[in-house]
Amino acid sequence: GSHFVSFDQLGVFVASEMLQHSQVALIEIFGGEGGCSKLAVKFRLQAGGNFDIITGCDLLQSNESEKLVRFIFKTEPLVILMGPPCTAFASLSKINEKLHPDSFNSSRRTGEILAILTCRIAIIQLRAARYFLIENPAKSGIFDLDCFRELWASGCVGRIEFPQCSC
């Protein structure tokens, strides 16, 4: 089932976990302007950075994604927050698939590369008994990809849904 949590509840949980660890509390991947890292400061947690195209990190480049993976192994963040782009997996993308197949296919390839990286990082966190969050619309097609199905099938991953817009 789905559960609802507030940012304050999440912050208290992470802060209590950090009392037992002296490590990076969180890393954001596809974090846009890094709002969660800023929120971490409220709880006096150490943020390990925000890896996003707008911060100069192009995770479509294999050398950049490998640097990120090495950074994760080195810093051992307690939580990794990931919001992979959902454009290629949104329900409206099906219209684009019919009207502009070349554009759709290009967007889909990009989306799949980043989705596979997201799953890879989630597995790294699982194997190290650490946490991750993946933010995407509940009905996003990203969750139908094989790598996500395998992640859910692990039995170690739960799902939390909460409304993000007023529509």
User: pLDDT tens across 136-164, in order?
Assistant: 888 888 999 999 999 989 888 988 887 76
> Would you state the torsion angle of the CA atoms of residues 157, 76, 39, 35, taken in this order, to the nearest 10 degrees?
-80
CA distances, 19 to each of 4, 13, 43, 125 (Å): 24, 10, 12, 19
Helices (H) and strands (E) in the chain, counts: 6, 4
At residue 52, does pLDDT exceed 80? yes
Give the pLDDT of residue 20.
52
pLDDT digits (tens, 9 = 90+) for 54-101: 888 899 999 999 999 999 999 999 999 999 998 888 877 777 778 888
pLDDT at 22 over 70: no
* DSSP symbol at 30: S
Residues recorded for the chain: 167
Instruction: Give tens-digit pLDDT for 99-143.
Output: 888 888 888 899 999 999 999 999 999 999 999 999 888 888 899
Q: State the pLDDT confidence band at 13, using cuts at 50, 70 and 90.
A: low
Whether this model's pTM surpasses 0.85: no
Would you state the pLDDT for residue 34?
Answer: 79
Tell me which H or E stretch contains 82.
strand 79-82
Taking the CA atoms of 160, 7, 147 and 121 in sequence, report the sign of the dihedral they define.
negative
